[in-house]
Amino acid sequence: MRTCSTFPIVGTVVLLCLLAASSTVEAEYMKYKDPKQPKNTRIKDLMSRMTLSEKIGQMVQLDRTAATAEIMKDYSIGSILSGGGSVPRPQATPVEWIKMVNDFQNGSLSSRLGIPMIYGIDAVHGHNNVYKATVFPHNVGLGATRDPDLVKRIGAATALEVRATGIDYVFAPCIAVCRDPRWGRCFESYSEDPRVVIQMTEIIPGLQGDIPSGSPKGVPYVGGRNKVAACAKHFVGDGGTTNGINENNTVIDRHGLLSIHMPGYYHSIIKGVSTIMDPDTDCFHICVLQGFVISDWQGIDRITSPPHANYSYSVLAGVNAGIDMFMLPFNHTDFIDILTGYVNNNIVPMSRIDDAVRRILRVKFTMGLFENPLADQNFVDQLGSQAHRDLAREAVRKSLVLLKNRGDAQGGLLTNFLLVLVFLFKFFIFASCKIKILLIDLPNLIKFKILDFVSAGAILPLSKNASRILVAGTHANNLGYQCGGWTITWQGLDGNNHSTGTTILSGITSAVDKNTQVLFSENPDSEFLESNKPFDYAIVVVGETPYAETFGDSMNLTLSEPGPNIISKVCGAVKCVVVIVSGRPVVIEPYLDEIYGLVAAWLPGTEGQGVADVLFGDYGFNGTLPRTWFRNVDQLPMNFGDSNYDPLFSFGYGLIT
């Protein structure tokens, strides 16, 4: 009996010992979880605990459609993204976005080491994938403002709207220097001039926050939960491809590369940008950056031609070139298996893997993800807020460029002399260009300013008290066309049912006197024009239909049909102002003689009211061309300073009212 009674006692002791041991393991102090420890100490501690598979998993970014909470846990995946139009459901609410993001994040947190993931999205002109978000003008329009403070405020507003959906990483800004408007991404570029692009990198502290005084250069910085990690893209020279063909080769000497395409990256890194995106070609490591380098969508697939022809080689080339995180975005197992084999066979050194993971973790610790990995609903009311829409409307007003302003009568000698003085003053103060631009623009001055822009009868600003006006054109009442590509979907949309905002037509209608009759016809025929006359004036709004990337490459740069025909019919019958909604300069010279007023509105986004604000004189025209407006496509590529420079409107041109 005594012997038998000892078994329960011994078993109890063993069980208690096991529980004590288990408790000791659970209570083990882990430096990487301690926010009081220096960042580098936390990174070193975490990496010392990681297996090779966990490290390679951190180098993977998957689209949300290819990820699950289980995959995030089992493979220690480093990041998820929403590609263009990849949403929880059409017109999803911020709360639905937050739930989706947190479901993925809980998967990551349940992994062995609980390393949180980053969620990325293309918020390139506001939180443009999301229903009811504020959509700001595309970068080409912001370049026309020459207003870095405005762009910084747009960055801050975008960060709040992105955080409203639980997301913490944006693939923006694009700091490409577009040197050929035939490129389908030219609207993502602020300017053909690297100096303007440098100014606009001020969006980075808007997105991420101002780096603290005395911070070392090149170190990523994200200043709190109301900010997001940014991504400067696409390193380097993507805007200089031959014939403007997307993903084509950029043929340029070293001086040109460093003086035209590289300065935006220097300034982005100085301002603490967290990541840099490589284009769809081979790259080299950006040594001064301490954040991480991420590939573009299926970027390594396109290292070979045709894409994915030799995926094993592409993985090797991409890793050795210095890419740290790979936007795969659908198949993680092939990448992981191939890279694991390279490391185990000493083809890729472990030091390259450690370097990549160290950079990724540095950004995650900087973002505070280990302390606050889950999104909350504190910023839900920021999505599409009135304050942000007011800011977008301001941006639209400042981005408009007045190219022609003709009057019925000719001014006297004194009037013309004063206009020349205004012209000279404007370019000295606003254009930020070399004095050479004054000489280049003299033909335009003579043709469009001295002869046309006279105070006695200039058509702009338009009268609000007209009896009857005509609004015509494919882009006058189309929110999708106003916003362009990268809006709700990758390629953009047609119509007014996909987001919220004000069309140019609705802005015009609300701006004029209540007694003014506004007639709208998208494509009026001769019978309509004849039966409804007289009109005091007409506003014709035409341009390009939405596109993105390769789908926007164009060798002719013509207005979308029936735009040219609408201009000819309406402006041939009624004194007209033509508003061009486009992502770049387009062919317009053949129609100039018929046009009284010509306005470049770029891709203004959801707040079309901003166009009406300036057309009717509540605010003046102050925008200047961020890129050269060519006469015909045979001149391309043509940029300010070229020996063959003979533009229709030069870089920096823009009338003021």
In a shared domain, residues 130 and 274: yes
In a shared domain, residues 487 and 357: no
In a shared domain, residues 364 and 404: no
**Mean pLDDT of the 180-206 span:** 98
In a shared domain, residues 594 and 562: yes
Q: What is the 3-state secondary structure (H, E, C) of 590-638?
A: HHHHHCCEEEEEECCCCECHHHHHHHCCCCCCCCCCCCCECCCHHHCCC
What pLDDT sits at residue 24?
45
Domain of 367 in residue numbering reads as 42-379+386-397
- Does the pLDDT value for residue 447 go beyond 90? no
In a shared domain, residues 497 and 611: yes
Which amino acid makes up residue 100? M
Nearest by Cα to 632 from 599, 600, 593, 586: 586
Q: Can you tell me the distance from the alpha carbon of 510 to that of 495, in angstroms, rounded to the nearest whole number?
A: 20
Alpha helices in 380-500 (DSSP H): 386-399, 413-426, 436-440, 442-444, 479-483
CATH of the domain at 547: 3.40.50.1700
23 occurs within a structural domain: no
What pLDDT sits at residue 457?
73
Each residue of 508-524: pLDDT tens digit? 999 999 999 999 999 99
Each residue of 405-443: pLDDT tens digit? 998 654 444 444 555 565 555 555 444 444 444 444 555
Percent of the chain scoring above 90 in pLDDT:
85
192 is catalytic: no
- Does the pLDDT value for residue 489 go beyond 60? yes
In a shared domain, residues 537 and 624: yes
What pLDDT sits at residue 222?
98
- Does the pLDDT value for residue 452 go beyond 70? no
28 occurs within a structural domain: no
Cβ 605 vs Cβ 137: under 8 Å: yes
Q: What is the DSSP letter of 453?
A: -
Q: Can you tell me the distance from the alpha carbon of 349 to that of 455, in angstroms, rounded to the nearest whole number?
A: 71
- Does the pLDDT value for residue 390 go beyond 70? yes
The token pair that represents 256 in the structure block: 């040109």
CATH of the domain at 343: 3.20.20.300
227 occurs within a structural domain: yes
Q: Which of 122, 188, 441, 549 is catalytic?
A: 549
In a shared domain, residues 349 and 284: yes
- Does the pLDDT value for residue 531 go beyond 70? yes
Q: Which of 247, 296, 394, 553 is catalytic?
A: 296
Distances (CA, A) of 299 to 88, 119, 292, 326, 401: 24, 18, 16, 8, 36
In a shared domain, residues 217 and 289: yes
The token pair that represents 162 in the structure block: 């992105």
In a shared domain, residues 637 and 541: yes
Q: Lowest-confidence range among 413-427, 495-509, 545-559?
A: 413-427
**Mean pLDDT of the 565-584 span:** 98
In a shared domain, residues 71 and 145: yes
549 is catalytic: yes
What pLDDT sits at residue 470?
98
Per the structure, how many domains does the chain have? Answer: 2
Structure-model confidence comparison of residues 410 and 640, the more confident one: 640
5 occurs within a structural domain: no
Beta bridge partners of 516: none
Q: Can you tell me the distance from the alpha carbon of 379 to that of 225, in angstroms, rounded to the nearest whole number?
A: 10
Q: Can you tell me the distance from the alpha carbon of 260 to that of 639, in angstroms, rounded to the nearest whole number?
A: 12
Q: Can you tell me the distance from the alpha carbon of 477 to that of 611, in angstroms, rounded to the nearest whole number?
A: 13
Q: Can you tell me the distance from the alpha carbon of 290 to that of 366, in angstroms, rounded to the nearest whole number?
A: 11
What pLDDT sits at residue 180?
98
Cβ 117 vs Cβ 106: under 8 Å: no
End-to-end CA distance of the chain: 108
**Which long-range contacts link 592-598 to residues 24+ away (Cβ below 8 Å)?**
592/404, 594/567, 594/568, 595/404, 595/406, 595/567, 595/571, 596/404, 596/405, 596/406, 596/459, 596/537, 596/571, 597/402, 597/404, 597/405, 597/406, 597/459, 597/460, 598/402, 598/403, 598/404
9 occurs within a structural domain: no
Percent of the chain scoring above 70 in pLDDT:
87
Each residue of 612-634: pLDDT tens digit? 999 999 999 999 999 999 999 99
Based on the number of CB atoms within 10 Å of its own CB, is 574 exposed (0-12), middle (13-18) or buried (19 or more)? Answer: buried
In a shared domain, residues 138 and 287: yes
- Does the pLDDT value for residue 21 go beyond 60? no
- Does the pLDDT value for residue 148 go beyond 90? yes
What pLDDT sits at residue 370?
98
Cβ 189 vs Cβ 139: under 8 Å: yes
